[in-house]
Amino acid sequence: MSAPPLKGIKVVELAGLAPGPFAGLLLADYGASVLRVDRPNAVSGDNLTRHKKSITIDLREAKSRDVLIRLLTATDVLIDPFRPGVLERLGLSPTEVLLKHNPRLIVARMTGFRRDGKYKDMAGHDINYIAVSGVLSMLGRAGDKPYAPGNILGDFAGGGAICFLGILMALIARSSTGRGQVVEANMVDGSAYLATFPRLAQKTPAWDGPRGENLLDSGCPYYDTYETKDSGKYFAVGALEPQFYAALLRGLELDPKSLPKREDRGNWPALRDIFTHRFKEKTRAEWEAVFDGTDACATPVLENVELEASGYEQRPVVHLSRTPSLPINADDGVWSGGGLMPGDGGEETLRAWMGWEPNKDFLIRKDGALVSIGGRAKL
291-333 tens-digit pLDDT:
999 999 999 999 999 999 998 888 899 999 999 999 888 777 6
Taking residues 152-176, report their average pLDDT: 98
Task: Of 11, 42, 38, give the one whose Cα is nearest residue 25.
Answer: 11
Name the band, by pLDDT with cuts 50, 70 and 90, for residue 94: very high
Whether the pLDDT of residue 43 is over 80: the answer is: no
Name the catalytic one among 155, 189, 332, 344: 155
Could you report the per-residue pLDDT of 265-294, keeping only the tens digit for each? 999 999 999 999 999 999 999 999 999 999
pLDDT of residue 363: 96
Whether the pLDDT of residue 107 is over 80: the answer is: yes
CA–CA gap between residue 128 and residue 139 (Å, rounded): 14
pLDDT of residue 297: 98
Whether the pLDDT of residue 156 is over 60: the answer is: yes
pLDDT of residue 210: 96
Q: Residue 362: helix, strand or coil by DSSP?
A: strand
Taking residues 110-135, report their average pLDDT: 95
Percent of the chain with pLDDT over 90: 89
Region(s) of the chain under CATH 3.30.1540.10: 223-227+234-300
Q: Are 57 and 34 in contact (CB under 8 A)?
A: no
Q: Are 68 and 97 in contact (CB under 8 A)?
A: no
Q: Are 286 and 253 in contact (CB under 8 A)?
A: no
Indicate if the alpha-carbon torsion angle 355, 360, 364, 369 is positive or negative.
negative
Region(s) of the chain under CATH 3.40.50.10540: 10-194+314-371
Q: Residue 312: helix, strand or coil by DSSP?
A: coil
Task: Of 14, 29, 198, 39, give the one whose Cα is nearest residue 110.
Answer: 14
CA–CA gap between residue 316 and residue 328 (Å, rounded): 7
Whether the pLDDT of residue 379 is over 50: the answer is: no
Q: Is the pTM of this model over 0.85?
A: yes
Would you identify the CATH topology of the domain 10-194+314-371?
Answer: Rossmann fold (3.40.50)
- Extended strands (E) in the chain: 10-14, 33-38, 52-56, 77-80, 106-111, 182-186, 223-227, 234-238, 298-300, 363-364, 370-371
Mean pLDDT for the chain? 94
Name the band, by pLDDT with cuts 50, 70 and 90, for residue 46: confident
Whether the pLDDT of residue 354 is over 90: the answer is: yes
Taking residues 150-169, report their average pLDDT: 97
- The correct answer on CATH 3.30.1540.10 for the domain covering 223-227+234-300 is yes
Whether the pLDDT of residue 375 is over 70: the answer is: no
Task: Of 185, 290, 295, 189, give the one whose Cα is nearest residue 238.
Answer: 295
Whether the pLDDT of residue 335 is over 90: the answer is: no
Could you report the per-residue pLDDT of 18-39, keeping only the tens digit for each? 999 999 999 999 999 999 999 9
155 flagged as catalytic: yes
Question: How much of the chain is helix, strand and coil, in % rounded to 5?
Answer: 35, 15, 50
